[in-house]
């Protein structure tokens, strides 16, 4: 059975790069355009995603707010959330960890490292 990944990024180019990388590795990919849309999509999914990948800097609801909102729901606390962002600031990494992020990957991403991270957190 293939794993489902929810990707959240306001860049259409990044969403398409993620889709291409993940679908070619057998994942089912569901996409959202920002944190607010990510919450809407997540609530509408029939099956919880195996992993969520979110950007930090987005309009309407940023990645930190998205992670915090997901983690408030006890049934979603165990879903691994990987942050994929251009940010590399240690303070922001710590803030993401405190919000409930599982891991942090800096853009541009290496497809092999991204897939390794997904397989590690989804195991």
CATH number where 19 lies: 3.40.50.2300
Report how many domains make up the chain: 1
Q: How confident is the prediction for the chain on average, in pLDDT? A: 94
Residue 1 pLDDT exceeds 80? no
Question: Which strands form 51-54's sheet, in the order they lie side by side?
Answer: 28-32, 4-8, 51-54, 81-85, 103-106
As a whole number, mean pLDDT of residues 55-78 equals: 94
User: 2 falls in which pLDDT band (50, 70, 90)?
Assistant: confident
Q: Which domain holds residue 63?
A: 4-122
Q: How many residues does the chain have?
A: 123
Neighbours of 95 (CB within 10 A): 17
Q: How far apart are the first and last CA of the chain?
A: 13
């Amino acid at each position: 059975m293939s794993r489902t990944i929810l990707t959240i990024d306001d860049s259409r180019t990044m969403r398409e790069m993620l889709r291409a990388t993940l679908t070619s590795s057998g994942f089912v990919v569901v996409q959202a355009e920002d944190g607010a849309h990510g919450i809407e999509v997540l609530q509408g999914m029939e099956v919880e995603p195996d992993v969520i990948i979110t950007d930090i800097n987005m309009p309407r609801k940023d990645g930190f707010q998205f992670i915090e909102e997901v983690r408030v729901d006890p049934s979603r606390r165990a879903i691994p959330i990987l942050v994929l962002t251009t940010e590399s600031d240690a303070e922001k990494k710590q803030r993401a960890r405190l919000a409930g992020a599982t891991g942090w990957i800096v853009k541009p991403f290496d497809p092999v490292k991204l897939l390794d991270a997904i397989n590690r957190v989804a195991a």
